[in-house]
Amino acid sequence: MSARDLLKPATREEARLLDELDPARLPRHIAIIMDGNGRWAQRRHLPRVAGHRAGVHAARTVIETCARLKIPALTLYAFSVENWRRPKAEVDFLMRLLREYLRKELPVIHRNNIRLLVIGRPQQLPREVREDVAMAMRTTAANTGMQLVVALNYGGRTELVDAFNAILDHVRHNGMDTFRVDEQTIAQHLYTAGLPDPDLLIRTSGEMRVSNFLLWQIAYAEIYVTDTLWPDFNRARLLEALVDFQKRERRYGGLSPSEPREFSEQALVGRRTRG
């Protein structure tokens, strides 16, 4: 099978990139820090909010492309716990934009068998946003296609704090005096419990930082940073990231399969006598 069986290229560039892709080795989970909306607007002498609006268009394209490529999970960083530091007008606009997006796109998402999940601390979100999000999650709960995870009022450290407190509650509640934490316990208490860890982390707009995103889960993710600003991140840019991902050698602390395995006495002795 070729990647072209999954996705019809709209341009020659997309066609070339699709031909480079091996559909059997796509990531199981892509996580994206969608950054650069403000700068995109600034370059066009537009208000920042125009950048956020253009960013929604990019998100729609990426969601559709990942679903067609049958990527099992896609996580989009939409609003961080630190983003409350922005002017109230911008925060309000982002919340309104999210509700507008859900209202317009939920039928499309649902039709495409996509399951929507929101991770973060919903308690601090405006009530209307919380309700819309809960409704979207309920509507799509039984869908079996791609999991679309939206990180909203999300922070990686907050997530760990919430996980540890959930573990403590569980231990106290069950009187488990000798209980000890292991990696599995932690993973199971994160917002992302049940999802595979991201194998590809994309950040747009060139910033070389993770900005408190999925700190535990990205332990072995391949990181792809592009200077492209989020509103300009189109299908070709996503395919480019996927092609780059497939060129990476993932060693997980081990050795490359092409590396000679003999680390025997003999090899060492051989080297010594030769030297």
143 is catalytic: no
Q: Name the helix (H) or strand (E) containing 119.
A: strand 115-119
The one of Mg ion, ligand IPE, none whose footprint includes residue 75, by CB under 5 to 8 A per kind, is none
Piece of 9-17, 35-43, 160-168, 182-190 that binds Mg ion (CB under 5 A): 35-43
Q: Name the helix (H) or strand (E) containing 128.
A: helix 127-140
Please identify, using beta-carbon distances, which residue of 115 and 203 lies nearer to Mg ion. Answer: 203
Sheet holding 200-203, edge to edge: 115-119, 147-154, 73-80, 29-33, 200-203, 222-225
- At 1, which amino acid appears? M
The one of ligand IPE, Mg ion, none whose footprint includes residue 150, by CB under 5 to 8 A per kind, is none
Please identify, using beta-carbon distances, which residue of 14 and 132 lies nearer to ligand IPE. Answer: 132
Question: From CA 194, how far away is CA 59, in angstroms rounded?
Answer: 24
The one of ligand IPE, Mg ion, none whose footprint includes residue 80, by CB under 5 to 8 A per kind, is ligand IPE
Catalytic, out of 19, 22, 35, 182: 35
Q: What is the DSSP string of 161-207?
A: HHHHHHHHHHHHHTT-TT----HHHHHHHSTTTTSPPPSEEEE-TT-
Please identify, using beta-carbon distances, which residue of 35 and 132 lies nearer to Mg ion. Answer: 35
Q: How far is the CB of 51 from ligand IPE (least distance, A)?
A: 6
Tokens found for residue 244: 């780059």
Residue 79 binding Mg ion, by CB under 5 A: no
232 is catalytic: no
Please identify, using beta-carbon distances, which residue of 90 and 197 lies nearer to Mg ion. Answer: 90
Question: From CA 273, how far away is CA 207, in angstroms rounded?
Answer: 50
- At 228, which amino acid appears? T
- Which residues here bind ligand IPE, judged by CB under 6 A? 33-39, 77-80, 83, 94, 205, 207, 209, 211, 230
DSSP letter, residue 221: P
Q: Which of 35, 105, 132, 222 binds Mg ion (CB under 5 A)?
A: 35
* Binders of Mg ion in range 141-200 (CB under 5 A): none
Question: From CA 54, how far away is CA 60, in angstroms rounded?
Answer: 10
Q: Which of 211, 242, 212, 236 is nearest to 224 (CA)?
A: 242
Question: From CA 39, how far away is CA 230, in angstroms rounded?
Answer: 9
Catalytic, out of 5, 83, 132, 177: 83
Q: How far is the CB of 126 from ligand IPE (least distance, A)?
A: 15
Q: Helical H runs in 21-126?
A: 37-43, 48-68, 88-111
Q: How far is the CB of 35 from Mg ion (least distance, A)?
A: 4
Piece of 27-35, 148-156, 192-200, 234-242 that binds Mg ion (CB under 5 A): 27-35
Q: How far is the CB of 207 from ligand IPE (least distance, A)?
A: 5
Please identify, using beta-carbon distances, which residue of 37 and 217 lies nearer to Mg ion. Answer: 37
Q: How far is the CB of 41 from ligand IPE (least distance, A)?
A: 8
Q: How far is the CB of 122 from ligand IPE (least distance, A)?
A: 16
Residues involved in catalysis = 35, 83
The residues of the shown chain that bind Mg ion, judged by CB under 5 A, are 35
